[in-house]
Amino acid sequence: MQHVIFACIHNAGRSQMAAAWFNLLANAQKAQAISAGTQPGAHVHPEVLAAMAEVGVDLSQAQPQKLTDDLARDATLLVTMGCGEQCPYIPGLLRDDWPLPDPKGRPIEEVRVIREEVRRRVVALLAAHGWA
């Protein structure tokens, strides 16, 4: 079983969408994902909840969580979500960065574009690693 962590600063937008898409589309016997943040917010952004609900993905129970060493211990890959210098670094862990805009406070039309770009990247990641 491979474990992927999607991380951003507040764990309230991009990383939540990425982990949700990953777990929905991945072969659950090969890989699973979690999301976390370096400074977790209080809740998932409402515009993210709305955009994901439009495609049948319910994030209403998702809670931002802190990225810790314990959380990363069994991970195979860390995908950071465009957080620049504030992105976490975990020694020994393979890392990729997806420079995506933060959906917080954006109009739903823009959040939909971000949602679809996250989905596209997740699909490519799954295919590249044989996790689909």
Catalytic residues: 8, 83, 87
Q: Which residue has the tokens 């991945």?
A: 26
Question: Rounded distance, CA 55 to CA 93, Å?
Answer: 32
**29 is written with which tokens?**
């016997």
Angle, to 10 degrees, between the axis of helix 108-129 and the axis of helix 46-54? 70
Q: Are 8 and 14 in contact (CB under 8 A)?
A: yes
CA dihedral of 26, 31, 36, 42, whole degrees rounded to 10: 50
> Which amino acid type is present at position 68?
T
Rg over alpha carbons for the chain, rounded to the nearest Å, is 13
